[in-house]
Amino acid sequence: MNEGTESSRTAAQSPEETSLVQIEPISKVAGGVPALVATAKTVWQEMGVARGVRTLLQLNQTTGFDCPGCAWPEPDGERSHAEFCENGAKHVADEATTKRVTPEFFRKWTVADLAAQSDHWLNKQGRITNPMLLRAGATNYEPVGWDEAFSLIAGELNSLAHPDEAIFYTSGRTSNEAAFLYQLFVRQFGTNNLPDCSNMCHESSGSALGETIGVGKGTVTLEDFDLAQAIFVIGQNPGTNHPRMLTALQKAKRNGCKLVHINPLPEVGMTRFKHPQQLSGWIGAGTALADLFLQVRINGDVALLKGISKAVLAEAERRPGEVLDHEFISNFTSGFDDFATAVKNASWEELTEQSDVSRAQLEAAAQIFIHSERTIFCWAMGLTQHKNAVANIQEIVNLMLLRGQLGKPGAGVCPVRGHSNVQGDRTMGIWERPPVLFLDALAREFNFAPPRRHGYDTVKAIEALHAGNARIFFALGGNFLSATPDTEYTAAALRQCRLTVQVSTKLNRAHLVTGEQALILPCLGRTESDMQATGPQFVTTENSMGVVQASRGSLAPASLELLSEPAIVARLAQATLGDRSQVDWRALTADYDLIREHIEHVVPGFADYNSRVRRPGGFLLPNAARDRVFQTPNGRANFTVHELPRHNLEPDQYLMMTIRTHDQFNTSIYGFDDRYRGVYGGRRVVFLNGADMEAAGFKEGERVDLISHFEGEERVARHFAVVPYSIPRRCAATYFPETNVLVPIRNVADKSNTPVSKSVVISIQRSLL
């Protein structure tokens, strides 16, 4: 049985912390005055009043910087002076804090002592000011010069038996310019080992959409939300994870749009919203959002979506020619007959039992769908992190194809990305399975032969490190250990390395579980000015809807020792490749326009990059599916057929999913309160149905241990407080990343290989301590 240890744990695990958890009534409305108070408190504490106000007024502005948080887009036209949400403001304050982690800090704190602290405590210490080196056998990090650091990394890389023994990870915060240089360096080094955070989130979306509509991205723009008559939000919690999306939903609702919320937990953000920057957000009850809530069982989405499709097809039989878009189906799709037969053969009894949603509710959702001429489907991790994640998303596509809800204004599919440039990184070539056309263009532009063999994704990279088949791990951003599954297995894999390198702004767990040697390379944040040899520079990002825009930080860097991410990549490439590369890395670092010129020649859709990205709001990338051009092998959008997933739980077992609190962004923990769910003072909680608690004899607040079960293996996470909540029977929910230790490394989604963090089979026992 594996369980979290003091050195690799993702959060404090003491019984005392669990005892501090307080349960209060959940919020009835998202946003409003509490959001303003929470924002002000965090910003003032981390940045100070004057500095905080100046910085926030530049956030998401056309002449300012792009939010380093989520990837929700900004409006094309006039923007609010306060174009940010509570979580975005917290993220900015977290990055732009005035606290500093200096060499003196590292002299005081050993790695073992730091490992005993929580992730929240580590993050709160502030910005790292200097490159730091942990030598083999040392107990403390020590300062190191940049030249020595690059020389050390280059020496280790060049001593490998094969380039595939190095892993180059990327976080979704990395800019287009840094990502493009990074993949160029890695491929000139000789490998496609470019795993990224997308492997753990929307990889399933890309796989599903690529097969069915020929593009792995969403097909809508923000303007489509203004035109939609129905919006379905499934497996997503906008109020916590993408709060600015609530503004778009509120506007759509006021335009008469019907909203359908599908999720195992009712989320306040989809129930009622008070815009904190409008007068109505200060007084009154706010805007009611969801017209219909379908409380689906965890991983009951295939059954639910099939049920809605079944109701649509039944209505089409009752009203021939009035329900389905037969012209669209005939001209643009393939596989309709097989799909329709499979749906008709599925029994209502089976669909309602698997989804835990009644036939009447499924038919009500179908009626909303049928009466809408312009429908958008949005989703996030609640669909993408299951064994059958690709099937989940392809069932959405099936439903949308029935009424031709692709390639027209106000309609389309919308996978909502969780990090500000995770989509842009993939566009720039951060992918272990790069398209042949991309590699051909890269070869022509830089006169070299890129490797053609596919590299490791995130899960395969961890397995390769664990097996000793990879020896060096380099991360361009992120908190790899806390973000990945099977914490103990991943920690053991990292310890197998000869060298681990983290490009970071703040302390995190990945700095403390290392290889024989470890480096921390501190970089500029999104909020900071970037001065290079030719003058001030800006970077670009791509949001969740394919808009590429400029981002210009203005704050003074947290330290004069910081380098930009493009500069770090370029100097590492120079040190490692030497005369093997014909690229003028120094010139690219001096002037980012030169990087963008190369991108223009390699990546489709970036013509006249430097000119267009300087326009207010940037530019929209082409999307063939948006124009009803489906770049699949058969040139059509494809209906698909899927079996219903099965979970044969033992009598004492539950199906657990991980979720985020309202006081975190990914692995960055800002505090211990989740006011939207009524949890205060702690994060180690497990949400259970009240009837399940009664049947098991658990009481509210009781301390329990969670044990996951997979192919005869057990993993344990200790000291969680039981919280009664509105959740389907035999389901459980816990916070990420505290329960990543329970997610088996080998339990992955079909086709996408994404870790199955939303369908973890667990049992629950009372804690002995």
Contact in structure between 587 and 580 (CB atoms under 8 Å): no
pTM value is: 0.96
- Residue 146, pLDDT > 70, answer yes
57 compared with 152, residue with greater pLDDT: 152
Task: Give the lowest-confidence range in 89-103, 147-161, 567-581.
Answer: 89-103
Query: In angstroms, what is the C-alpha Rg of the chain?
Result: 25
- Residue 250, pLDDT > 60, answer yes
Count other Cβ atoms within 10 Å, centred on residue 116.
14
CA 673 distance to own-chain centroid: 21
Please tell me whether residue 674 adopts helix, strand or coil conformation.
strand
491-513 residue pLDDT tens: 999 999 999 999 999 999 999 99
Q: What confidence category does residue 474 fall into, taking pLDDT thresholds of 50, 70 and 90?
A: very high
Please tell me whether residue 288 adopts helix, strand or coil conformation.
strand
166-181 residue pLDDT tens: 999 999 889 999 999 9
- Residue 15, pLDDT > 80, answer no
- Residue 101, pLDDT > 60, answer yes
| pLDDT value of residue 283 | 64
Alpha helices in 80-130 (DSSP H): 86-95, 103-108, 111-115, 119-124
Helix axes 565-577, 176-189, angle to 10 degrees: 10
**Distance from the first to the final alpha carbon of the chain:** 18
User: Can you tell me which residue has the tokens 């700095």?
Assistant: 511
| pLDDT value of residue 18 | 52
Q: What is the mean pLDDT of residues 292-299?
A: 98
Distance, CA of 490 to CA of 234 (rounded, Å): 30
Helix axes 32-47, 86-95, angle to 10 degrees: 10
| pLDDT value of residue 2 | 64
Burial class (CB in 10 A: 0-12, 13-18, 19+), 31: buried
- Residue 639, pLDDT > 90, answer yes
Q: DSSP letters of 158-191?
A: HTSSSGGGEEEEE-TT--HHHHHHHHHHHHHHT-
16 compared with 588, residue with greater pLDDT: 588
Q: What confidence category does residue 752 fall into, taking pLDDT thresholds of 50, 70 and 90?
A: very high
372-394 residue pLDDT tens: 999 999 999 999 999 999 999 99
Phi–psi pair at 414, nearest 5 degrees: -140, 85
270-295 residue pLDDT tens: 888 777 766 566 666 788 899 999 99
Tell me what the pLDDT averaged over the chain comes to: 93
Q: What confidence category does residue 19 fall into, taking pLDDT thresholds of 50, 70 and 90?
A: low
Q: What confidence category does residue 238 fall into, taking pLDDT thresholds of 50, 70 and 90?
A: confident
Distance, CA of 733 to CA of 660 (rounded, Å): 10
| pLDDT value of residue 666 | 86
- Residue 58, pLDDT > 60, answer yes
- Residue 14, pLDDT > 60, answer no
Distance, CA of 607 to CA of 719 (rounded, Å): 55
673-724 residue pLDDT tens: 998 999 999 999 999 999 999 999 999 999 999 999 999 999 999 999 999 9
Q: What confidence category does residue 1 fall into, taking pLDDT thresholds of 50, 70 and 90?
A: low
| pLDDT value of residue 11 | 42
